[in-house]
Structure formats: structure tokens, C-alpha cells
Amino acid sequence: MIDRALIELNKTEGIKGSMVVGKDGLVIASQLPGNIDAELVGAMASASFGAAERTAAELGMGNLEQTMIEGEHGKVLMVDAGEGILVVLADAKVNLGLIRITMKRTAEKIKAMF
Amino acid sequence: MKVSVYGAGNQDLYVNQLKLPEKFGGEPPYGGSRMAIEFAKAGHDVVLAEPNKNIMSDDLWKKVEDAGVKVVSDDIEAAKHGEVHILFTPFGKATFNIAKNIVEHVPENAVICNTCTVSPVVLYYSLEPILRTKRKDVGISSMHPAAVPGTPQHGHYVIGGKTTDGKELATEEQINKLVELAKSAGKEAYVVPADVSSVVADMGSLVTAVALAGVLDYYSVGRKVIKAPKKMIEHQIIMVLQTMASLVETSGIEGLLKALNPELLIKTASSMHLLEEQKDLDAALEILKNLDEELKKEAKNAEIKPTTLVAAQSLVKEIKTLIGGAAAEGAIKRSARKLFEH
């Protein structure tokens, strides 16, 4: 079920892959390019999302909605999906607005599946 | 109750190497096959999975089958049978592989139990991707004989209950089933926190017993003679145990021995002989004075590898503050799996 939602999400222009990891980094579902170590990326996503969550809380910013890592050759976006985190790998030059909307919709679907 | 036992037990080890009949008594078969016999005699429907028929002689296999145990060579066949699954399997990776192999085939609400040298917590971590997605109904515990089944010493089972931090790896119903199974075979059932079970039930209980005696001896001397504050004594005990554990992890026993320098340790520990009765210290000093020459040589040539001497619980608290509870727990699980699974 979650895999199907990710396959659908990956059809969005500029998205190279996506995954859902538990807040503890356990890979629930993954539709990432074959050369990526999903388990390792899941663990890193959990640590970076967790650190961002803690920073937002410490600064009184409320619940964390999204984090983004921007690299020279691509972006990683993470949004809260209830018990899990929805992680998306995107090209460097993408329509961020469109991706954010699509991710939000997918995250809602995932929340309902947990 | 439907019970599946995996592994008959290495009879050559029990009879010829450990000489259990002479030392402890009882009679072969020992181990998993004896557990299976005892459960069958208690009226349970038991399957014993053992792919290596040569592990026991024909007359011992006959004893197993005469007790009403069904013997199979296929783990999956045993997996489909039992509501309780007991892994009396070889040390280390083999056990994890068998568990991963059977977990998707066990009936609904079954419980998988480790016996020797595997912590139920690490077994849970190892199976977690399946347990949290496809098989949420399956429980993990231990059904640790904490002695060799078949010897008179085996009068009990150690069952892993809730962890010390309150995690339920198995439901209360599944734990109760194990207690009932142990009692039906005429054994005492000890339910202990799942993360403590290996420490008190595995062969490492030798270390636990000796180290605990040392901890209590220092606590007694520290409080009664030196009259040191309790907190200070506890800090020193933490320092000792953490340092030793960290050194074993990075540098092995030989590296530990080299770093601790037994000659020096004899001198310093002798001055802690402050009570008339400190038998544990007397025994320890005696052992250190008469160390095996081969071991001394190995220690001399050992390498003390880079070791991070951390205060584990404080570090966990710090990581939880930085990246949150769930992410920190995930990191702890993965590190435990890496340390103990391979």
C-alpha cells in the first residue's frame, strides 16, 4: 500500500526517489534508486529529522513540518507522516512548490495507512 | 500446546567434551532434544526440527520419537506447527538466520524464544522490520533453560518479559503461555526483564556472578569501612564496569589484560582488603597471581585499540536531547544489532 503511494509520488517531475522511515529510522517502504543504501539513508533521515524537530521545539517553533537539505546536485525533503517520515530525493532544480504539495498529500495518505 | 523446538543439541559436546553424565548426572540426549522430550511427556504436541541427523545416534533419536516428539529436518515445517517456537540453535548468526527464515511462517500470535547466547532484545531488533510491518502479532521472548536440559540442575526456565524501559516484545498472554509451558514440564519459571535475561541465564552468568560479588564487596567495604558516600561508590563501580566492557569490545580479552596490567592490579587491589572476610577478593588475587603463561604471552603482544570510554546511559540521555527519543532509540537498536548479531 505505502509502496504504491511512493510509486505514484515518484511520477512527479524532478523526484528521483522516495521512502518512508519510522521516526527511529526503520525503513517501512522504499522506492529509491538501486545504488542507494536505503537502511543507511533511513537512519540518517531519522537522525536529521529528529535533530530538526528538537531544534524547532527548543526555539519555540512548534511541531516540525518539513526539513530540506540542499546539495549542489540535489535536494532531500522530509515531511512528518505521523509515525513515520516521508523522505524525497529531488533534482537540484525543481518546482519546490509542486513537490511540497504532492508530498503533503502523500504524507496524509501514509498517516492513514499506519 | 503446540511447541516447536529447533536444534537437538550437540551431544558430542555434552557427553564427550563437557562429560556431563560424569560431572552433573542425567543422561543423553541433552539439550534441545531433551527439552522436546520433556514437553512431549508433559502432554504437549511437539515438533523437533534438526537438519543434521548425525548430531545424535539412532538410539537417542529413538528416545526422542518414543516420547511422542515428531522429528523433522525442515525448519519451515516446524514453523507452521508451533504456537511456541524455541531456538536451541547454534551460537550467533545461525540463530538469527533461522529466526528470519521462520518468522513469516509461524501461526498467528505465536511467540519465538531464544535460548543460549542471544538476547531476546537483539533477536527482536534483528526481526523488527518484519515484526513491525507484516507480523505485528508475533512475540519475542526467551525460554532459556539456564542449565543444560537433561542435567539435574535444569529445574527452571528464564523467560524474557517487559524490558527495563517498559517495552513489550511479547504480549502478556504470550509470556503467560511460556510460564504455563515451563510449569507443565515441572520447571520453575522466572520472568525477568528481556534485556536482563541473557545476563543471568546465559553462560556469561559466570561473569555476572563474579562481577556482582565484586561490586557488593566494594559496596560493603566502601560503606562500612571507608564510609564513602553511596554516590561516589556507584560512580567508581560504573567507571570500572564501563571501562572493562569498552576495552573488551575494542581490544578483546588480551587487550583488556594488557591495559589493566595484572601485576599492578594485584598491588592496588590488595590494599582494598579491609574486612576479615573478603573471599571473592582473595580468590581474584589468587587467580591474577597464577595467570596462564600462554594468556600472559598473548596479552603482552596484544594491541590496545582506540576505545571510547563512555558513560552509556548519560550518552543516551544526551543523544535523546539532541535528536529526540525515537531517532536515538533507532541508533541504539542498530548499534546493538551490529555489535551482537554478527
Domains of chain B: 2-201 (3.40.50.720), 204-309 (1.20.120.1300)
Of A27, A46, A49, the CB nearest to B129: A27
Q: What is the pLDDT of residue B342?
A: 62
Taking an 8 Å cut-off on Cβ atoms, the answer to whether B327 and A27 are in contact is no
Q: What is the pLDDT of residue B38?
A: 98
State the complex-level ipTM.
0.83
Phi/psi at A66 (5° precision): -155, 150
For B152, B169, B313, B333, the CA distances from B161, given in Å and listed in that order, are 26, 8, 21, 18
pLDDT-based confidence at residue A55 (cuts at 50, 70, 90): very high
Burial of B133 (0-12, 13-18, 19+ CB in 10 A): middle
Decide: B328 and A49 in contact? Cβ < 8 Å: no
Chain A residues whose C-beta is within 8 A of a chain B C-beta are 22-28, 43, 46-47, 49-51, 53-54
Q: Which residue of A has its CA nearest to B332?
A: A24
User: Which residues of chain B are modeled with pLDDT < 70?
Assistant: 342
For A53, B3, B159, B226, B313, the CA distances from B179, given in Å and listed in that order, are 42, 13, 8, 44, 31
Domains in chain A (CATH in brackets) are 1-112 (3.30.450.30)
Q: What is the pLDDT of residue B91?
A: 76
Of A25, A27, A28, the CB nearest to B327: A25
What's the whole-model pTM score?
Answer: 0.85
For A63, B206, B259, the CA distances from B212, given in Å and listed in that order, are 45, 10, 22
Share of chain A above pLDDT 70, in %: 100
